[in-house]
């Protein structure tokens, strides 16, 4: 009976040892990929902020914000500056791309596929948003032009 208990304890200890080694090997395999993913997201965040600043500076040099303000169109886009809106969209697009690359490097297939779908969908969404903003600006411009005539509509 003692041999049976000793044998069971030995098998249990061997199983726990194998399981612990398997967990450790998995941990050692995952940690570098996880660190790489965090680094990729950090680089994406840095590049996104840099691109936002560049885009804002370029758009401000075109004086689009002043033109929108002179035409009294700022309310049509929520009181925000057009250069800041486009810069923010650029920043977040780059961050989403870095999240996609990071999820792919960590081998998180479900998350990677989801973020990839978003990355491919965002340009279409931005194009629709741009059309909407241009429509709002045109509508506000026409409203201001009609108001300037001081004509009463019956």
pLDDT of res. 154: 58
The 10s digit of each residue's pLDDT in 35-81 is 998 999 999 999 999 999 999 999 899 988 888 787 777 777 777 88
Give the least confident one: 15-29, 33-47, 121-135.
15-29
Q: Mean of the pLDDT values across residues 5-22?
A: 79
pLDDT of res. 98: 94
C-alpha–C-alpha distance, residues 59 and 41, integer Å: 26
């Amino acid at each position: 009976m003692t041999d049976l208990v000793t044998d069971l304890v030995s098998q249990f200890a061997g199983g726990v040892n194998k399981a612990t080694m398997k967990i450790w090997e998995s941990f050692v395999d995952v940690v570098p990929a996880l660190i790489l993913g965090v680094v990729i997201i950090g680089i994406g965040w840095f590049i996104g902020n840099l691109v936002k600043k560049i885009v804002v500076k370029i758009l401000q040099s075109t004086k689009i914000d002043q033109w929108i303000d002179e035409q009294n169109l700022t309310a049509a886009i929520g009181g925000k500056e057009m250069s800041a809106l486009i810069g923010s969209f650029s920043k977040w697009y780059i961050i989403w791309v870095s999240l996609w690359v990071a999820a792919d490097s960590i081998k998180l297939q479900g998350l990677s596929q989801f973020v990839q779908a978003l990355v491919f969908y965002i340009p279409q969404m931005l194009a629709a948003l741009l059309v909407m903003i241009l429509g709002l600006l045109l509508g506000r411009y026409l409203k201001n032009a009609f108001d300037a005539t001081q004509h009463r509509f019956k």
